[in-house]
A and B are shown apart, each in its own frame.
Chain A
């Protein structure tokens, strides 16, 4: 089945220690999104890639970076995690950003910062 896969499902890191979260997709979609979802809140878009074009949201902290080495994979790097970065991180994909297409979400990675 075509899907969006996130690894790991649970990640524990220490305050200030860089961490990378991974997302892969078998849907061959052009767009990949990263969302941050804190407890009992709605997902908040951090950035997205349309093919190789990176689009950052205006209020995304510099501490968050992303890489997309190819169509299938996208990574979220948190350079110096703080306690406030503990959250669920959701990856999503869609065919095109200019149409009202469904976004397909992965299961998420829950990040704990000690």
Chain B
């Protein structure tokens, strides 16, 4: 079945450091790919998405590019802030699957001042 694999956390960084969170997927066909963020005590918020190969999603300084060749959707941010401390989930969905999200295990990021 379809699956998403993320790097395990926690990832601890200093403010203004560069952040990368690796995400790879296994799926039959070409899914849409998402990054969701969950701040402490809150629900999930969509951070960015890409619906076809080579698309780049971007939002709030975060970027991720849909790489079909490597079945990856790595999340990057050039300069993190303390407010970026959260859990980040990579996810995929297929039209045929009724928009059902398949999530990775989540990566906790802690940014220290």
Could you list which residues of chain A lie within 8 angstroms of chain B, going by C-beta atoms? 4, 6, 31, 40-43, 45, 48, 50, 55, 90, 92, 94, 96-108
Among B20-28, B70-78, B96-104, the stretch in contact with A: B96-104
CA distance A29 to B83 in the complex (A): 30
The A contact surface, by secondary structure, is loop
> Contact size class for B?
20 to 34
Is the pair A94, B99 in contact by a Cβ cutoff of 8 Å?
yes
User: Chain B contacts of A31 at CB under 8 A?
Assistant: 99
Q: Which of B32, B44, B105 contacts A105 (CB 8 A)?
A: B44
| A101/B106 in contact, CB under 8 A | no
Say which residue of B43, B93, B95 sits within 8 Å of A107 (CB atoms).
B43
Q: Which residue of B lies closest to A90 (CB)?
A: B43
In the assembled complex, the Cα of A71 lies from the Cα of B12 at a distance in Å of 42
In the complex, are the beta carbons of A100 and B51 less than 8 A apart? yes
Q: Mark B42-63, 1 if CB is under 8 A from A, else 0.
A: 1111100101000000000000
Closest CB in chain A relative to B68 CB, distance in Å: 16
* Complex Cα–Cα for A6 and B93 (A): 24
- Chain A residue contacts of B41, Cβ below 8 A: 107
